Structure 1
Amino acid sequence: MGPRRRLAAALLPLPARRGRGPGLGGALLGAALLGGVLLAAVRAHPGPDRDGEREGDGAEPCRACRGLADSFSRGLERTEHEGFGGGNTAWEEEKLAKYQHSETRLLEVLESVCAPSDFACHQLLEQSEEHVEQWWFHERQQHPDFFQWLCMDRLALCCPPGTYGPDCRPCAGGPRQPCSGNGRCDGDGTRRGTGLCVCSPGYGGPFCAECGDGYYEASRNKSHLVCAECYRACGRCTGPEDSSCLRCKRGWMLHEHRCIDIDECGTEMAHCRANQFCVNTEGSYECRDCSTACIGCMGAGPARCKKCNKGYWRDGAKCLDVDECASAEEPVCTGAQEVCENTEGSYRCVCASGHVRRDGHCVEDKPPDAPEKGFFDDVTEDEVVVLQQMFFGVMICALATLAAKGDMVFTAIFIGAVAAMAGYWLSDRSDRVLDGFMKGR
């Protein structure tokens, strides 16, 4: 059933099903349109295909097919007891066949087989559409196991359990109990893999039928082997005790069935750098850095130095810091206002108290001289406004004096100045300035 047939089936004028809201035809049309969008997204963002899989993902095609088959089987179970839901059952069975074997049921199952974001599932479903139709309409009775029919027989993506590879060959140890039940077969159940055993911790051998290093046989019968862990120093053993060792792990040596730690620091087995010393640990050793007072050392601290480092002097067995500031015959810091400060293994020149370094020189630590203030620097904005008003007042008085003498020009100027001042004082700004001035702000 290709996409055209599925869409045509979705558009059939089927009677509405009870309790399902809109008619089934509308629901199937929506599902068909959604499927078209999802398949377009699959083509734009394809999942891993069989030829382009990443290394180590050999089981992915089989896993995807198994997921599709399992989801398909759950859909069959969900719709097992459903029907067309119309009012005329006889008409439904005569014209549309029984729901259990109908194309309508198949469409409803396929609607929910793949999650919306599962592109690999949608891609596989698209590729398998004709096989699904073939099984549903023709092979279902003879081959009821949908997973085996689709994933093993038709698509050849999977193998029966206990087999692997293109020809489904038996895994190591046989298909009934691969790897003796103590590991997994590489490629088990897929058309990929090597068929070799990957043993569980504690087991080894080509069929995982032996105990691995550090383990011993706690019990064994014809079909099962139980391995338990040896004493921590034993590589091979006969039991859990420290006296049952047959072979030791690296860093230990066998003595009367016991593993004794090797002191690598007392042998040539330890390899540390020139300015490090060796510390023995159980089964191994560590390299740690010498003291900064040392050039080469035999242990931790300045008393274990082979030679003293520059800036240190030997006092008996110990390397002590040299105080260059006190021991020098001549001052070591010669800059103006500089003093010497001793440090571990060296010294440094710093500025004397009350001085700071600026541009490479020690200068007195005081703020820079501030420029002298002008006469009006501390005058506030409101005070400037008041001064302006006083100036205008003086000018108006002068103009009034001249106007009083009968000069028409000065009289006109006087009247204009008075009008300007009146407008200023009647404005909101003048009110705020006057209010602030009266309150001393």
Structure 2
Amino acid sequence: MNLYSFKLLIFLLHFVLINEIICKKISLPDIDLHSGSTIGECQQCKILTESFNHWLEKTSRGKYEGGDAAWEEAKLKSYSRSEMRLVEIQEGLCSEVKKHKDHCYALAEEAEEPLEKWWFHEDPASVDLYTWLCIETLQYCCPENHFGETCAPCPLYKNQVCGGQGQCAGEGTRKGNGTCICHKGFAGTYCEDCAKNYFRVNEQSCERCHKACEGCSGEGPAACNSCKQGWELYSGACVDVDECLIPTTCKTNQYCVNRAGSYSCKNCHQSCNSCVDAGPSNCTACDPSHVLWSGMCIDDQMKSDFLQNALKRLALYCGLLIITYFTYRKSKFLAALVVLIVAVYIYYSESLSKINVVDLFLNMYFINSPSSL
């Protein structure tokens, strides 16, 4: 083999090995995307025992059909507690876990000897693996309704943990202080009271007060103990204060939007000095170089263009009405059809126009000057 052939062989081997490694990495099943998240020792142990029970079920053997039934039963009996079955379980252990797989593998390695002890010396039918391993042997967990290093009992109220309306801090683990963490709407050492701005419906239920209330005795704004800011007492009930009725609520170049219990100030359109709502057609004052015309701030050229456009439309409408009149004299049915078409046309023309004909007449005949609007 010459030097060139030898180098080519080395390159091909190198390529094959790298490709094999990459493929294996990419094809690893059930990659644990959550392996970086932290869970407690008790939760790790619970995941491990669930996986063990899963593989215990997977490795169970059913009776075979035909053959020597007595021999098969004896064979299965010996397999059920055999080292072979334990090896099968350990080989599959944690592989089916989708979340916290790394934690499961780590604890499986740590608990290998205790698991073997349970397998060979305890009866799975009467000795629960979770209780034996996690609570009694490793002492990572506590029985239900117990907490802390000594597995002290959780606080009871009316023979229920936290009155049945909360959770004991650290319950089931060797952590926590046993304080009641109350469900939404409940408060107190044992979750025996309603939380602030909730009222009692019955022993097991607290409902939220009306949004107007600062504390309440029942449902609705009439049951408030006092009114929240933005509300006021009127005829025995808390009603919304309309802050927008106060002229100084917002700045001059803003308009007010009232909400239940509050309000907000929004900036006027850039063409307006002051306004009553959003958009360029709700102005109430303009800068000196513009005049107010039908809610819009326009200059002289724009006003002239609007007037000319409105006059043209007015002339067109008059022409259409004249045509309708002569059509009526010839055929009432045809005239009715023409009236419908003209009405639809006028409606859409005026709705799309910034200045309609009515505004034109108001400004030309009933108001002295555009700036007085």
Q: What is the TM-score normalised by the length of structure 1?
A: 0.49
- SS of equivalent to 1:158: coil
Q: Which residue among 298, 302, 307 is the counterpart of 1:321? A: 298
Q: 1:163 to 1:114 in 2, by over 3 A?
A: same
Deviation of 1:305 after TM superposition, in Å, equals 5.2
Alpha-carbon spacing, 1:204–1:97, altered in 2? closer, same or farther (3 Å): closer
SS at match of 2:127: coil
Q: Could you tell me which amino acid in structure 1 is paired with residue 267 of structure 2? A: D
How far did residue 100 of structure 1 move? Answer: 3.3
Question: Among 240, 246, 271, which residue is 1:261 paired with?
Answer: 240
Alignment RMSD: 4.5
Map of 1:240 onto structure 2: 219
| Separation in 2, partners of 1:191, 1:136 | 25
- Counterpart CA distance in 1 for 2:143 and 2:129 is 14
Larger Rg computed on CA atoms = 1
Aligned equivalent of 1:291, options 269, 290, 294: 269
The aligned counterpart of 1:252 is 231
How far 1:144 sits from its partner (Å)?
0.6
More strand by share: 1
Contact in 2 for aligned 1:163/1:175 (Cα 8 Å): no
Question: For this pair of structures, how many residues does the alignment match?
Answer: 275
Label 1:184 to 1:266 Cα distance change in 2 as closer, same or farther (>3 A). farther
- In structure 2, how many angstroms separate the alpha carbons of the residues matched to 1:264 and 1:273? 13
Question: Residue 133 of structure 1: CA displacement?
Answer: 0.7
- The C-alpha deviation readout for 1:398-422, integer Å capped at 9, x for no partner, is xxxxxxxxxxxxxxxxxxxxxxxxx
Percent sequence identity over aligned pairs: 35
Are 2:230 and 1:279 equivalent residues in the alignment? Answer: no
Matched-pair contact (CA < 8 Å) for 2:271–2:297 = yes
Tell me which of 206, 214, 229 is aligned to 1:227.
206
Alpha-carbon deviations, 1:211-251, whole Å to 9, x = none? 2344321112xxxx222344443343222244222233442
The verdict on how the C-alpha distance between 1:196 and 1:248 changes in structure 2, with shifts beyond 3 A counting, is farther
Unaligned runs of 5+ in 2: 1-23, 305-353, 355-373
**One of 46, 51, 69 as aligned partner of 1:66:** 46
How much does 1:308 deviate? 1.8
Matches within 5 A, 1:15-414: 48=35, 57-59=38-40, 61-77=41-57, 98-116=78-96, 118-140=101-123, 144-171=127-154, 173=156, 177-193=160-176, 195-220=178-203, 225-255=204-234, 257-266=236-245, 272=250, 275-297=253-275, 299=277, 307-309=285-287, 311-314=289-292, 320-323=297-300
SS at match of 1:109: helix
Task: Report which of the two has the higher share of helix.
Answer: 2
Q: Which has the higher contact order (CA 8 A, sep 6+)?
A: 2
Q: Distance in 1 between matches of 2:159 and 2:39?
A: 22
Q: Which runs of 5+ in 1 are unaligned?
A: 1-36, 328-343, 345-441
Q: Structure 1 CA distance, aligned partners of 2:201 and 2:73?
A: 68
Residues 92-148 of structure 1, C-alpha deviations (whole Å, 9 max, x = no match): 979x98333321232333344423463332232122111101211234479712101
Task: Tell me: CA distance 1:137–1:148, structure 2 relative to 1, closer, same or farther (3 Å).
Answer: same
